[in-house]
Structure 1
Amino acid sequence: MEDAAVKQGFMYFQQQQTFGKKWRRFRAVLYRQSGCALARLELQDSPEKLRRGEAARRVIRLSDCLRVTEASGEASSPRDTSAFFLETKDRLYLLATPTAERSSWIQAICLLAFPWPPARNLL
């Protein structure tokens, strides 16, 4: 059974390389938690790379998310995009989306990562 996507589009991910940093474009799909899957943000390579067998896929579990904030001082993002940070228990991600979509991505991620009211353990 396929999970329903909450939001999808294109997103850039900044990768650290041997000689500096590089922005890489991914197809981003945001999924809500279901009975058989965690809430997550999946970054998938382009279909062209899938056909050649080079595709990469990153899965960021939203249950590990600590904060999501705008990166207003991050001038190095690709043209016509705005950057934001997504911090998890293990890593700090620098992501960029088209400027007009940044707020909606941040809001959607926050709604899934930090649900309110918090779930209660009923023992």
Structure 2
Amino acid sequence: MNSKTAIKIMLWLLVFVMLFHLSIIVKLIPYEITWGGRLKSDIEMYVFETISILINLLLFSILLIKGRYVKEYLSMKVVDIILWIFIILFGLNTIGNILAETIFEKFFTLLTLAFAMLLWIILNKDKNRAHN
């Protein structure tokens, strides 16, 4: 798989993830089954879900830059550093999801692992292309 394909897959997955978070905000999905059952009020849910959406929007915009779909307003070096940070976050999140108590959250192990692997492809295919 090339870097461009991995970016496109990531962008589409992020759209679905953001729709999932919006579904929690509008209470189509009960927040009690997310976040390890730690959320105790609507206010906590709104804060956590808003932060999640903002982080996903950040990753979305960074991937748009990496794929050269938008003007490069950050250097590619900064973009790559941010993507490496996201690989680490998704790796830790994958471990957390494996250890989750509910099947619902364990399912997200697949998604976070896929995100980490796709980001790895994006960063390494790009590096390999630069060296050739």
The answer to which structure has the higher strand fraction is 1
Greater RCO structure (CA 8 Å; 6+ sep): 2
Q: Could you state the TM-score of these two structures normalised by the residue count of structure 2?
A: 0.33
Which protein has the bigger helix share?
2
TM-score under structure 1 normalisation? 0.35
Bigger Rg over Cα: 2
